[in-house]
Structure 1
């Protein structure tokens, strides 16, 4: 059951990233761009979670997973603080 939840979280993040970046391409609103990049990073983090918990459970991927998540949140924070209109 956990594998289904992990997969759905990754697919949801991918769908959000796709929709946000598609809307950015149409409107050129900077907040959409930074939000889309954030969700791309969150999707990568979810894929790392799947690899960590299901594919290679002997290898601890928590530090890279947390680093990718923190970088994604940093991108969103940068977009909110410095690039908002």
Structure 2
């Protein structure tokens, strides 16, 4: 990929995941469906992951934020998995 496109792609990924998280949270507040809550938390954590990618690769290129990036990704998946299991039991 061209070097000039990388910041745009990273920014678009962050904006998209943050927007999805906000829209899901807004619909959760309106309807009260718990699966929307877990999905919005997952997308919020994915947005935090994308923001960490931006900071790691563009703002502080000499730093190594791989562990926080992986932690945000794992947390996002675990939150959604917990939500699926929690809603399955009820």
Normalised to the residue count of structure 2, the TM-score between the two structures is 0.91
Cα distance per residue 1:21-46 (max 9 Å; x no partner): 00000110000000000000000000
Question: Which has the greater radius of gyration?
Answer: 2
- Which residue of the partner structure matches residue 56 of structure 1? 60
Query: 1:17 and 1:67 mapped to 2: Cα distance?
Result: 18
Shift of 1:81: 1.1
Gaps of 5+ in 2: none
Please give the root-mean-square deviation of Cα atoms over the aligned residues, in Å: 0.9
TM-superposed CA distance for 1:82, in Å, is 1.5
Spell out structure 1 runs of 4+ moving beyond 3 A: none
CA distance in 2: counterparts of 1:59 and 1:83, whole angstroms: 39
User: What's the offset of the Cα at 1:83?
Assistant: 2.4
**Counterpart of 1:60 in 2: which secondary structure?**
coil
What TM-score results when the alignment is normalised by the length of structure 1? 0.96
Pick one of 62, 69, 75 that aligns with 1:65. 69
1:8 to 8, 12, 25: 12
Q: How many residues get paired?
A: 85
